Amino acid sequence: MKNRTDKRVYIYDTTLRDGSQGEGVNFSSMDKVLIAKRLDAFGVDYIEGGWPYSNQKDIDFFERIRAEKLVHARIAAFGSTRRAKNAAGDDPNLLALVASKAPVTTIFGKSWLLHVRDALRVSPETNLEMVRDSVAFLKSHAREVIFDAEHFFDGYKDDPGYALAVLDAARDAGASALVLCDTNGGSTPMEAFEITRAVCTRFPGAVVGIHPHNDAGCGAANALMGVAAGATHVQGTINGCGERCGNADLTSILPGLVLKMQRACAVHLDQLTEVSKYVNELANLPYNHRQPYTGMSAFAHKGGIHVSAVQRNARTYEHIEPGQVGNRRRVLISEQSGQSNVLYKAREFGIDLDSQPDKVAAVIEEVKKRDHAGYEYEAADASFELLIKRTLGKFAPSFEVLGFRVIDEVRDGAIVSEATVKVRVLGVEEHTAAEGDGPVNALDTALRKALRPFFPQLEQVELIDYKVRVLSAKGLKGTASKVRVLVESADGMNTWGTVGVSTNIIEASYEAVIDSIEYKLMKDARTKKTTARRSRKE
Of the ranges 125-134, 278-287, 293-302, the best mean pLDDT one:
125-134
- Whether residues 409 and 529 fall in one domain: no
Percent of the chain at pLDDT exceeding 70: 95
- Whether residues 31 and 125 fall in one domain: yes
Quick: pLDDT tens for 430-447: 999 999 888 888 999 999
- Whether residues 390 and 403 fall in one domain: no
Which has more confidence, 522 or 378?
A: 522
Quick: pLDDT tens for 356-397: 888 888 888 888 888 888 888 888 899 999 999 999 888 999
Q: 214, 240, 267 — which closes off a domain?
A: 267
- Whether residues 87 and 179 fall in one domain: yes
- Whether residues 84 and 220 fall in one domain: yes
E strands present in 162-254? 177-182, 208-212, 233-236
Quick: pLDDT tens for 183-221: 999 999 999 999 999 999 999 999 999 999 999 999 999
**What is the C-alpha to C-alpha distance for residues 510 and 503, in angstroms, rounded to an integer?**
12
522 is a domain residue: yes
> Partners of 15 in the beta sheet?
none
The pLDDT score that the predictor gives to residue 5 is: 41
Q: 239, 267, 295 — which closes off a domain?
A: 267
273 is a domain residue: no
**What is the C-alpha to C-alpha distance for residues 253 and 9, in angstroms, rounded to an integer?**
11
- Residue 121 sits at φ, ψ, to 5 deg, of 60, 50
| Residue 532 pLDDT > 60 | no
- Whether residues 34 and 57 fall in one domain: yes
The pLDDT score that the predictor gives to residue 344 is: 84
- Whether residues 372 and 440 fall in one domain: no
The pLDDT score that the predictor gives to residue 537 is: 59
- Whether residues 389 and 529 fall in one domain: yes
Which has more confidence, 315 or 218?
A: 218
- Whether residues 249 and 383 fall in one domain: no
The pLDDT score that the predictor gives to residue 90 is: 96
Give the other-Cβ count within 10 Å of 89's Cβ: 12
Using the 8-state DSSP alphabet, how is residue 80 labeled?
Answer: E
| Residue 332 pLDDT > 80 | no
Question: What's the CATH number where 405 sits?
Answer: 3.30.160
Among 120-124, 258-262, 310-314, which stretch is predicted with the lowest mean pLDDT? 310-314
Among 188-192, 330-334, 510-514, which stretch is predicted with the lowest mean pLDDT? 330-334
| Total residue length of the chain | 538
Average pLDDT, the chain: 91
Question: What's the CATH number where 466 sits?
Answer: 3.30.160.340
| Residue 474 pLDDT > 60 | no
1 pLDDT band, cuts 50/70/90, is: very low
349 is a domain residue: no
Quick: pLDDT tens for 138-167: 999 988 999 999 999 999 999 999 999 999
- Whether residues 199 and 219 fall in one domain: yes
| Residue 413 pLDDT > 90 | no
342 is a domain residue: no
The pLDDT score that the predictor gives to residue 2 is: 43
Q: 454, 477, 493 — which closes off a domain?
A: 454
387 is a domain residue: yes
284 pLDDT band, cuts 50/70/90, is: confident
| Residue 335 pLDDT > 80 | no
**What is the C-alpha to C-alpha distance for residues 522 and 235, in angstroms, rounded to an integer?**
49
436 is a domain residue: yes
Give me the domain span that covers residue 537. Answer: 360-394+460-538
334 pLDDT band, cuts 50/70/90, is: low
Q: How far is CA 436 from the centre of its chain?
A: 32
The pLDDT score that the predictor gives to residue 192 is: 98
| Residue 416 pLDDT > 50 | yes
- Whether residues 121 and 248 fall in one domain: yes
The pLDDT score that the predictor gives to residue 3 is: 43
Question: Number of folded domains in the chain?
Answer: 3
The pLDDT score that the predictor gives to residue 538 is: 55
**What is the C-alpha to C-alpha distance for residues 211 and 12, in angstroms, rounded to an integer?**
9
The pLDDT score that the predictor gives to residue 464 is: 87
255 pLDDT band, cuts 50/70/90, is: very high
Quick: pLDDT tens for 223-252: 999 999 999 999 999 999 999 999 999 999
Per residue, the 3-state secondary structure of 9-64, as one string, reads CEEEECCCCCHHHCCCCCCCHHHHHHHHHHHHHHCCCEEEEECCCCCHHHHHHHHH
| Residue 479 pLDDT > 60 | no
- Whether residues 257 and 165 fall in one domain: yes
413 is a domain residue: yes
Mean pLDDT of 103-126: 96
Question: What's the CATH number where 202 sits?
Answer: 3.20.20.70
Write the DSSP string, 265-281: -SS-GGGHHHHHHHHHH
440 is a domain residue: yes
**What is the C-alpha to C-alpha distance for residues 130 and 115, in angstroms, rounded to an integer?**
14
Do 473 and 481 form a contact (C-beta atoms < 8 A)? Answer: yes
